[in-house]
């Protein structure tokens, strides 16, 4: 592990954390509407996965701000999307759950659990068909592994032999239903192991996630086949801002927070000489500024114009019809 | 030529022209398609372009969406519209919405082809017409093909545009003999006036178009007026103006569809047309649809559940006499 990676981990994880804490505040103020799903506590998985995966298409779920930021999407355009502004990455029409940017090979942000898994398989098929061996990353939660989408997607990926990395973020809860009440076993990699190689990693350790994803990426691209990683993680916040989260005990939360991924990275990074106090301080100040600027940008940005209501439903204007 | 061969010819030509066109679905490849629409294409283009899928309708559409994101132009076949109910999340929540939710950054040139309608004694789970569902979802184009000409040109048009298209065929038309009539500048957005007349405008599509044409001679003889028969090639968008212009001339509107009558797409056609023509109508519009029952297996009951040429003629004549036509 080189120093530059550890620095990138810290920068992106801290940016993600500060961005989301601020999004929570802005939600409480009424500047962000609808649903807001925070990934606080899960940053090691999101950042480790994006950096470990490198080049290639990414399909994720609705808890995706940190993925988007780690992919390089501008914090101000992501924040503006949360604010529903025209400067948002989806012109204010998608919101928190639907961040898209093909420039970054980033395809959502899907609000139907597991629905993006067949998309990832199809895109991997298309890339392979067009002679591109680059893999595709599909990240999803533990809840998705109980859905038909998941089983259909792993079956298709293994049958068609396409390079998809299935990354399961097991945070143990599908909203308020703990995994053992929804699945006969709680080690979720078991569900994929007859279809593809599987691995379980500590999702609170960004180094472990990064290494596992990097190895898996190499496998899927060399072999042209899928791979499954289960990252054990924890979300500190309730499922969304409208969830009280009272199905988890304070003790459980306290134990989880003792393994905070950012604190872990700081400690290990300094121990191994990969991070310095100076760098950490520098980043802590820097991300505050970036997020402050993102909020200012979002607040000052205009709303979409009224004409935007009808734009983007279809790409082809149907001039032939008079109605 | 058979109707299904016109569809096959359209697919073949589009695949020949553009390597990014691929087909996927259950039994479409090695087996040749359950209605033989894709027959011969597997041998010609190989399994990478004519892709056999497991029985996983949701993921047939889902992977087609992914393929479009990855640069292909997939044509997904759902064996019958009845199974599309298993793919509704991908069709309604994904295919129809991703372009809009992404602020126009992602285009999905996906065609989902499927036959619908009552065939012969396939019972309730294999005998539905669901166009009303697709037509009411913003973000989907919904095309219908009544004959070889619209099957051929309509499907080629569907594959060539960048928007998602639901392409509806009819199970009983596949083995009908018909020819492709040459059309220049075909657009499914224009309804076709298949028979001119000045007394009654009758709108229909798919199999009901043929049944309407069979009913027309009786109607004309009994009522002593001529019928103008309009065949739709697209139900969303709907070519309201062609129908409205016809109604302004005939002063009478009849819509014939096979679907159960409650909440039928026929209602939408009637409403959209009378918005423009209300004061010119000489009679309330007549809607002829299927009955509000799951389609029965028994042939006698099955025929009672849908419009037939005889029932179409009888209903129009009864309505015509009542309103002084």
What CATH class does B3-173 carry?
alpha beta
- Arithmetic mean of pLDDT over chain A: 95
Q: What is the ipTM of this complex?
A: 0.96
Interchain pair A122, B240: CB under 8 A = no
Q: Does A303 touch chain B (CB under 8 A)?
A: no
pLDDT score of A243:
87
Nearest-CA distance B149 → chain A (Å): 19
Q: Does B100 touch chain A (CB under 8 A)?
A: yes
pLDDT band for position A318 (50/70/90)? low
The CATH number of the structural domain formed by B192-322 is 3.40.50.920
Q: Does A115 touch chain B (CB under 8 A)?
A: yes
pLDDT score of B278:
97
pLDDT score of A241:
86
Q: What is the mean pLDDT of residues A214-226?
A: 98
Gap between the Cα atoms of A67 and A130, Å rounded: 26
- Quick check: is B171 catalytic? no
Q: Does A315 touch chain B (CB under 8 A)?
A: yes
Cβ within 8 Å of residue B258, ≥6 positions away = B117, B118, B129, B206, B207, B208, B289, B290, B306, B307
> Chain A window 10-49: which residues touch B at a Cβ cutoff of 8 Å?
none
Q: What is the mean pLDDT of residues A76-89?
A: 98
Min mean pLDDT across A241-255, A296-310, B47-61, B160-174 is at A241-255
* List of chain A residues whose C-beta atoms are within 8 Å of the C-beta of residue B90: 115, 118
* List of chain A residues whose C-beta atoms are within 8 Å of the C-beta of residue B139: 313-314
Gap between the Cα atoms of B110 and B14, Å rounded: 13
Cβ within 8 Å of residue A65, ≥6 positions away = A16, A19, A20, A23, A38, A39, A78, A82, A96, A99
Query: Angle formed by the axes of helices A277-300 and A3-28, to 10°?
Result: 40
pLDDT band for position A317 (50/70/90)? low
Same topology between domain B3-173 and domain B192-322: yes
Q: Which residue's structure tokens are 């996965």? A: A49
pLDDT score of A242:
85
* Domain spans of chain B, in order of start: 3-173, 192-322
Gap between the Cα atoms of B209 and B16, Å rounded: 31
Gap between the Cα atoms of B91 and B236, Å rounded: 15
Strand partners, B260: B290
**Active-site residue identified among B5, B57, B220, B302:** B57
In tens, the pLDDT along A121-176 reads 999 999 999 999 999 999 999 999 999 999 999 999 999 999 999 999 999 999 99
DSSP conformational letter for B198 = S
Nearest to B322 by CA among B235, B222, B209, B193: B222
pLDDT score of A166:
98
Q: Does A91 touch chain B (CB under 8 A)?
A: yes
The answer to whether residue A320 scores a pLDDT higher than 70 is no
Residues shown for chain B: 325
Q: Alpha-carbon torsion A41, A44, A47, A50, what sign? A: negative
Q: Alpha-carbon torsion B92, B98, B100, B106, what sign? A: negative
pLDDT score of A322:
33
- Quick check: is B210 catalytic? no
pLDDT score of B72:
98
Residues shown for chain A: 323
**Active-site residue identified among B16, B19, B39, B126:** B126
* List of chain B residues whose C-beta atoms are within 8 Å of the C-beta of residue A160: 51
Size of interface A-B (CB pairs under 8 A): 168
> Chain B window 235-274: which residues touch A at a Cβ cutoff of 8 Å?
237-241, 272
Give the residue with greater pLDDT, B168 vs A319: B168
Gap between the Cα atoms of A62 and A100, Å rounded: 11
H or E segment to which residue B112 belongs: strand B111-116
> Chain B window 8-67: which residues touch A at a Cβ cutoff of 8 Å?
20, 22, 48, 51, 53-54, 56, 58-59, 61-67
What's the number of CA atoms in the CB half-sphere (13 Å) around residue A177? 11
Q: Alpha-carbon torsion B244, B247, B253, B254, what sign? A: negative
Domains and CATH numbers, chain A: 3-309 (3.40.50.970)
Strand ranges in chain A using DSSP code E only, listed in sequence order: 57-61, 100-101, 106-110, 136-141, 164-170, 173-174, 177-178, 198-202, 227-232
Nearest-CA distance A52 → chain B (Å): 22
* List of chain A residues whose C-beta atoms are within 8 Å of the C-beta of residue B65: 118-119, 122
Asked whether A21 and A40 are in contact (CB, 8 A), the reply is yes
Q: Does A112 touch chain B (CB under 8 A)?
A: yes
DSSP conformational letter for B91 = I
pLDDT band for position A323 (50/70/90)? very low
pLDDT score of A319:
46
> Chain B window 290-319: which residues touch A at a Cβ cutoff of 8 Å?
none
pLDDT score of A245:
87
pLDDT band for position A321 (50/70/90)? very low
Asked whether A60 and A108 are in contact (CB, 8 A), the reply is yes
Gap between the Cα atoms of B309 and B218, Å rounded: 10
Q: What is the CA radius of gyration of chain A?
A: 20
Q: Does A232 touch chain B (CB under 8 A)?
A: no
Gap between the Cα atoms of B267 and B257, Å rounded: 10
Which ranges of chain B have pLDDT less than 70?
A: none
């Amino acid at each position: 592990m080189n120093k530059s990676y550890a620095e990138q981990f810290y920068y992106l994880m801290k940016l993600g954390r500060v961005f989301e804490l601020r999004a929570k505040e802005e939600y409480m103020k009424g500047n962000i509407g609808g649903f807001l799903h925070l990934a606080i506590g899960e940053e090691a998985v999101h950042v480790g996965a994006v950096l470990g995966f490198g080049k290639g298409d990414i399909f994720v779920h609705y808890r995706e701000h940190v993925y988007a930021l780690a992919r390089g999407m501008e914090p101000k355009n992501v924040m503006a999307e949360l604010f529903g502004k025209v400067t948002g990455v989806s012109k204010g029409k998608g919101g928190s759950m639907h961040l898209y940017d093909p420039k970054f090979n980033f395809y959502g942000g899907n609000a139907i659990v597991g629905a993006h898994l067949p998309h990832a398989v199809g895109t991997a098929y298309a890339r392979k068909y067009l002679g591109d061996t680059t893999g595709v990353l599909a990240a999803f939660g533990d809840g998705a592994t109980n859905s038909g989408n998941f089983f259909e997607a792993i079956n298709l990926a293994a049958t068609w032999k396409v390079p998809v990395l299935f990354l399961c973020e097991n945070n143990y809860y599908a909203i308020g239903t703990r995994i053992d009440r929804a699945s006969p076993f709680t080690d979720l990699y078991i569900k994929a192991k007859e279809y593809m190689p599987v691995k379980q990693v500590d999702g609170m350790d960004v180094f472990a996630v990064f290494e596992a994803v990097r190895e898996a990426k190499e496998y899927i691209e060399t072999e042209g086949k899928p791979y499954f990683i289960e990252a054990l993680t924890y979300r500190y916040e309730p499922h969304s801002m409208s969830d009280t989260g009272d199905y988890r005990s304070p003790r459980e939360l306290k134990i989880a927070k003792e393994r905070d991924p950012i604190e872990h990275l700081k400690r290990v990074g300094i121990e191994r000489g990969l991070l310095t106090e100076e760098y950490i301080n520098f980043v802590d100040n820097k991300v505050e500024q970036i997020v402050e600027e993102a909020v200012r940008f979002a607040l000052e940005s205009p709303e979409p114009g009224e004409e935007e209501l009808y734009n983007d439903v279809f790409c082809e204007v149907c001039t032939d019809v008079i109605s | 030529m058979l109707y299904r061969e016109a569809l096959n010819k359209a697919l073949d030509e589009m695949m020949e022209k553009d390597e990014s066109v691929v087909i996927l679905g259950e039994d479409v490849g090695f087996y040749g398609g359950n209605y033989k629409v894709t027959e011969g294409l597997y041998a010609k283009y190989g399994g990478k372009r004519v892709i056999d899928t497991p029985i996983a309708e949701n993921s047939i559409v889902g992977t087609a969406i992914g393929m479009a994101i990855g640069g292909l132009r997939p044509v997904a076949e759902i064996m019958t519209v009845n199974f599309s109910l298993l793919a509704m999340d991908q069709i309604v929540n994904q295919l129809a919405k991703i372009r809009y939710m992404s602020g126009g950054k992602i285009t999905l040139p996906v065609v989902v082809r499927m036959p619908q309608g009552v065939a012969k004694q396939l019972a309730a789970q294999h005998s539905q017409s669901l166009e009303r569902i697709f037509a009411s979802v913003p973000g989907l184009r919904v095309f219908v093909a009544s004959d070889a000409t619209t099957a051929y040109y309509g499907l080629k048009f569907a594959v060539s545009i960048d928007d998602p298209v639901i392409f509806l065929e009819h199970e009983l038309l596949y083995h009908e003999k018909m020819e492709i009539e040459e059309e220049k500048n075909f657009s499914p957005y224009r309804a076709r006036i298949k028979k001119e007349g000045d007394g009654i405008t009758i709108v229909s599509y798919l199999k009901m178009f043929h049944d309407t044409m069979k009913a027309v001679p009786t109607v004309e003889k009994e009522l002593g007026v001529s019928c103008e028969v309009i065949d739709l090639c697209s139900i969303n968008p709907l070519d309201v103006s062609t129908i409205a212009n016809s109604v302004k001339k005939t002063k009478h509107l009849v819509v014939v569809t096979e679907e159960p009558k409650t909440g039928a797409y026929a209602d939408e056609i009637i409403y959209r047309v009378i918005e423009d023509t209300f004061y010119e109508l000489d009679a309330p519009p007549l809607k002829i649809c299927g009955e509000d029952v799951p389609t029965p297996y028994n042939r006698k009951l099955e025929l009672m559940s849908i419009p037939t040429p005889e029932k179409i003629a009888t209903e129009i004549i009864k309505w015509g006499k009542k309103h002084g036509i």
